[in-house]
Amino acid sequence: MAGKSQASPTSGDGLRRLVIVESPSKIDKISTYLGPGYQVEASYGHIRDLPQPSQLPEDVKKGPYGKFAVDVEHGFEPYYVVDDDKKKKVNDLKRALREADELILATDRDREGEAIAWHLVQALEPRVPYRRMVFGEITREAIQQAARELRDIDDRLVDAQETRRILDRLYGYELSPVLWRKVRAGLSAGRVQSVATRLCVERERERMAFRAAGYADVTATFAPEGDSAFGARLTSVDGKRVATGRDFDDTGRLKARDVAHLDVAAAQALVDGLAGASFAVRAVEEKPYTRRPAAPFITSTLQQEASRKLRLNARQAMRTAQSLYERGYITYMRTDSIQLSAQALSAARAQARELYGPEYVPDSPRVYASKSKNAQEGHEAIRPAGETFRTPAQVSGELRGDEFRLYDLIWKRTVASQMQDARGTTATVRVGARTADGRDTEFSASGTIITFRGFLAAYEEGRDATRDEQDAGDDTDRRLPQVVAGDALTATALATDAHETTPPARYTEASLVKTLEEKGIGRPSTFASIISTIVDRGYVRYKGSALVPTWLAFAVTRLLEEHFPKLVDYDFTAGMENDLDAISRGEAERVDWLTRFYFGADGPANGSAGPAGPPDGSGGPDGSDGSPANMEGIKGLADDLGSIDAREISTVPIGEGIVLRVGRYGPYLEGPDAETGELLKASVPDDVAPDEMTVEKARELLTSQSDGDNVLGTDPATGRTIVARVGRYGPYVTELIEDDAPATAVAERAQQAEGAPKKRTAKKAAKAKPRTGSLFKDMSVDTVTLEQALQLLSLPRVVGTDPETGDEITAQNGRYGPYLKKGTDSRSLADEDQIFSITLPEALAIYAQPKTRRGQVAKPPLKELGPDPESGQPMVVKDGRFGPYVTDGTTNATLRKDDDPETITAERGAELLAEKRAKGPVKKTAKKAAAKKTTAKKTAAPAKKAAAKKTAAKSTAAAES
Tens-digit pLDDT profile for residues 341-387: 889 999 999 999 999 999 999 999 998 877 654 555 457 899 999 98
Higher pLDDT, 662 or 227: 662
pLDDT higher than threshold 90 for residue 948: no
Predicted TM-score of the model (pTM): 0.72
| DSSP-based three-state secondary structure for 652 | strand
pLDDT higher than threshold 50 for residue 435: yes
State the Cα–Cα distance between residues 729 and 731, nearest whole angstrom. 7
Q: 269-280: b or e for each residue (b if 16 or more CB lie within 10 Å)?
A: bbbebbeeeebe
What are the tens digits of pLDDT across the range 449-505?
889 999 999 998 776 544 454 444 455 567 788 889 999 999 988 999 999 999 999
Q: What integer is the mean pLDDT of 137-143?
A: 91
pLDDT higher than threshold 70 for residue 232: yes
* Residue 163: band (very low, low, confident or very high) from pLDDT cuts 50, 70, 90: very high
Task: Detail the DSSP E strand segments found in 684-756.
Answer: 710-714, 721-727, 730-735
257: exposed, middle or buried (C-beta count within 10 Å: 0-12, 13-18, 19+)?
exposed
CA atoms lying within 13 Å on the CB side of residue 207: 21
Q: What integer is the mean pLDDT of 624-632?
A: 53
Q: What integer is the mean pLDDT of 807-832?
A: 88
State the catalytic residues: 332
Backbone angle region of 518, left / alpha / beta, with phi > 0 → left and psi within -120 to 50 → alpha: alpha
Q: What integer is the mean pLDDT of 64-86?
A: 91
Higher pLDDT, 650 or 946: 650
Q: Return all residues near 609 (Cβ < 8 A) that are at least 6 apart.
A: 74, 75, 591, 592, 595, 603
| DSSP-based three-state secondary structure for 950 | coil
pLDDT higher than threshold 90 for residue 821: yes
Type of residue at 462: G
pLDDT higher than threshold 50 for residue 2: no
Q: What integer is the mean pLDDT of 82-102?
A: 92
Confidence at residue 665, expressed as pLDDT on a 0 to 100 scale: 74
What are the tens digits of pLDDT across the range 685-734?
888 999 999 999 999 888 876 655 688 989 998 888 899 887 766 788 99
Radius of gyration of the chain, Cα coordinates, nearest whole angstrom: 33
pLDDT higher than threshold 80 for residue 294: yes
* Residue 125: band (very low, low, confident or very high) from pLDDT cuts 50, 70, 90: very high
Confidence at residue 707, expressed as pLDDT on a 0 to 100 scale: 58
Q: Are 165 and 50 in contact (CB under 8 A)?
A: yes
| DSSP-based three-state secondary structure for 266 | helix
Confidence at residue 943, expressed as pLDDT on a 0 to 100 scale: 42
Q: What integer is the mean pLDDT of 551-578?
A: 92
43: exposed, middle or buried (C-beta count within 10 Å: 0-12, 13-18, 19+)?
buried
Of all residues in the chain, the percent with pLDDT exceeding 70 is 84
Query: What rounded mean pLDDT belongs to the chain?
Result: 83
The enclosing H or E element of 287 equals: strand 279-291
State the Cα–Cα distance between residues 930 and 28, nearest whole angstrom. 37
Minimal CA–CA distance to 560: which of 201, 67, 52?
201
Helices 590-599 and 570-584 cross at an angle (nearest 10°) of: 160
Confidence at residue 83, expressed as pLDDT on a 0 to 100 scale: 86
Confidence at residue 705, expressed as pLDDT on a 0 to 100 scale: 67
What are the tens digits of pLDDT across the range 879-914?
776 778 898 878 888 888 777 787 788 878 888 888
Q: Are 758 and 736 in contact (CB under 8 A)?
A: no
Confidence at residue 710, expressed as pLDDT on a 0 to 100 scale: 81
pLDDT higher than threshold 80 for residue 658: yes
State the Cα–Cα distance between residues 507 and 527, nearest whole angstrom. 14
Alpha helices in 540-654 (DSSP H): 551-563, 570-584, 590-599, 646-649
